[in-house]
Amino acid sequence: MAEVIRYDFGAGAPQTVLQGFEKTPAAGRFALTLAPGAAATVYVLQDEPSVARLDAEYEVTLAEGASLQMIFVALSGAQISNRVRIALQGPHAECRLGGLYLPSGDQQMSFNVRLSHDVPECYSSQLFKGILRDRAQSRFDGLIYVAPDAQKTEAYQANHNLLLSTEARAEARPQLEIYADDVKCSHGATVGRLNEDELFYLRSRGITAEEAARLQQMAFVGEVLEMVSDSALRDSLTARVLTRL
């Protein structure tokens, strides 16, 4: 087993970690600990040659009042697997997860997320979106766990997939395990295709079928890219995503 790489975030100024950019690894085992009041943003870019196999594992704990935003952008790799375990262990901890995956060819990408609300009054949201072409496959397993005394929990999860070919396959398995009664939780998953009405509307204005499909894909992924608050980083990620559409 690979050595665990640790990040300890203390209270104070928000910190940003870029995984998979230039020299930092896009895969491996990571343990992230957020101390009370810590704030961190973690970006994980997975853009590897299409023979590469990537396994990433994240074990994350958040103490009271800690806040984490974590965004995955999986663009290329023969087989990419992300296993994410997040535990909200102190009240008022907040976690926002975003994910984008764009497998093509025979690529397979998967996310396995377990987000547990161990204590009351925490917030979590998850938004994972995938566009699949050719014979690509994806799988999203997402579990929201709410402990018996984790009252006033707010937890949201969404997974949406766009299939661009008849052979692509997306599996979505959202799960809720809720043992508290005073909670606000929602989850939803969809697997769909480009909207024909929208395509016709765009084309009727002279936009080519290819460009219309690109506009729709950009619109689809935009919601996740908008989570990237650093505008220079957002622009560079958007440009990278665009080359894949």
Partner 1 sequence: MLTVKNLHASVGEKEILRGINLEVHPGEVHAIMGPNGSGKSTLASVLAGRGTFTVTGGEILYKGRDIRNLTPEERSWAGIFLGFQYPIEIPGVSNVNFIKAAVTEHRKQKGLPELSAAQFLKLMKEKMAIVEMDSSFSGRAVNVGFSGGEKKRNEIFQMAMLEPDLAILDETDSGLDVDALRIVATGVNRMRRPDNATVVITHYQRLLDYIVPDFIHVLYKGQIIHTAGKELALEIEEKGYDWLINK
Contact positions vs partner 1 (CB under 8 A): 196-198, 200-209, 211, 215-216, 218-220, 222-223
Q: Which is nearer to partner 1, 166 or 204 (CB)?
A: 204
CB 194 → partner 1: shortest distance, Å?
Answer: 11
DSSP 122-176: -EEEEEEEEEE-TT-EEEEEEEEEE-TT-TTEEEEEEEEEEE-SSS-EEEEEEEE
Q: Are 170 and 137 within 8 A, CB to CB?
A: yes
Q: Are 157 and 186 within 8 A, CB to CB?
A: yes
Contacts of 42 (CB under 8 A, 6+ apart): 16, 17, 19, 32, 68, 69, 70, 71
Q: Which is nearer to partner 1, 137 or 159 (CB)?
A: 159
Nearest to 115 by CA among 149, 90, 92, 146: 146
- Enumerate the H helices of the chain as residue ranges: 196-204, 209-225, 231-242
CB 140 → partner 1: shortest distance, Å?
Answer: 20
Q: Which is nearer to partner 1, 153 or 161 (CB)?
A: 161
Long-range contacts of 231-234 (CB under 8 A, 24+ apart): 233/43
CB 81 → partner 1: shortest distance, Å?
Answer: 28
Q: Are 153 and 180 within 8 A, CB to CB?
A: yes
Q: Which is nearer to partner 1, 83 or 234 (CB)?
A: 234
CB 183 → partner 1: shortest distance, Å?
Answer: 28
CB 160 → partner 1: shortest distance, Å?
Answer: 12
DSSP state of 224: H
Q: Which is nearer to partner 1, 17 or 194 (CB)?
A: 194
CB 219 → partner 1: shortest distance, Å?
Answer: 3
Could you tell me the end-to-end alpha-carbon distance of the chain, in angstroms, rounded to an integer? Answer: 35
What is the sign, positive or negative, of the torsion defined by CA atoms of 56, 158, 39, 227? positive
Q: Which is nearer to partner 1, 208 or 229 (CB)?
A: 208
CB 91 → partner 1: shortest distance, Å?
Answer: 35
